[in-house]
Amino acid sequence: MKKHYSVRQLSRLAGVSVRTLHLYDEIGLLTPAVRTDAGYRQYEEKELLRLQQILFYKELDFSLKDIGGILDDPGFDLVKALESHRTSLQARKERIHSLLTTIDKTIFHLKKQTMLSHEELYKGLPKEQAADWRKEATEKWGKDAVERSEMRLLTLTPQDLATLRTAFAENCKKLATLIHSDPASPEVQASVRTHYHQIRQFWGTADEPDPQLKAYQCLGEMYTQDERYTTVDGQPNPVFAQFLYKAITHFVQIHH
């Protein structure tokens, strides 16, 4: 026997108002399975699933008219729709997590008045060079990625940023000493793991659930194409670039 839900029961179950359910009925978006002789609306599982879809699409900022068109399309696939919703909501979750982390750090450092300025962020670089590097990064990685990275770094103290930069330089020097080792060896991979986590700190994504392995792989490829990022003792070193690329590739493969 099919279970029926009244308007009030469905309202409590789905967290929407009775008035909203009445509206959805009036515009043909969610029609009850049964109308009793007394005029009461009754809903079944099919309507519950449809309401779930309506609420998902509303969460993604679709209009009621567009939602109706999507759900009434003969080619609509509920399973594919749920998979799509999950992907969209996961991306939104990661974005919100990132924003909350940034806000928390910003509040903490503003209260202590230790937040970095943009000038300190690019300290040591001529203004023109800093502007060129920022423009180049925007073209390669996108404006959002650059601004997110800057915002995260700006929440560091000058001492924390200096510590990160020093640790990164020291680890790169260590990797350079391993240039003739097997890129897949435990010693090399230990340093690559450190490099990966440091890079994510520079990207401002260290606290995000997405491991960004594909982006890290792309960075490894970039090392073989731009000699500025793999210099040894101030000189371009293509051998080191290839070594680092292979080591990063192996790291990504075993952690994928």
- Regarding whether 160 and 89 lie in a shared domain, the answer is yes
DSSP state letter for 43: E
Number of domains in the chain: 2
For the chain, strand residue ranges (E) read 5-6, 34-35, 41-43, 231-232, 235-236
How confident is residue 181, by pLDDT bands cut at 50, 70 and 90?
A: very high
Same domain, 138 and 203: yes
Pick the closest to residue 72 from 34, 18, 5, 27 (CA basis).
Answer: 27
**179 — pLDDT class (breaks 50, 70, 90):** very high
Verify that 28 and 51 share a domain, yes or no.
yes
Residues 148 and 195 in one domain: yes
Which of 21, 50, 76 lies at the terminal end of a domain, its last residue? 76
Clarify whether residues 137 and 203 are in a common domain: yes
Bigger pLDDT: 30 vs 154:
30
The CATH number of whichever domain residue 40 belongs to comes to 1.10.1660.10
Residues 89 and 26 in one domain: no
Please check whether residues 112 and 69 belong to one and the same domain. Answer: no
Q: 143 and 247, same structural domain?
A: yes
Residue that terminates a domain, selected from 76, 103, 129: 76
The confidence band for 207, taking pLDDT boundaries of 50, 70 and 90, is confident
Angle at 20 between CA 14 and CA 21, to 5 degrees: 65
Parent domain of 67: 5-76
Residue 127's pLDDT is what?
Answer: 65
Q: What is the DSSP string of 87-132?
A: HHHHHHHHHHHHHHHHHHHHHHHHHHT-PPPHHHHTTTS-HHHHHH
Last residue of a domain, one of 76, 93, 117: 76
- 233 and 114 housed in the same domain: yes
Under 8 Å between Cβ of 23 and 7: no
Q: Quickly state the pLDDT bin for 106 (edges 50, 70, 90).
A: low
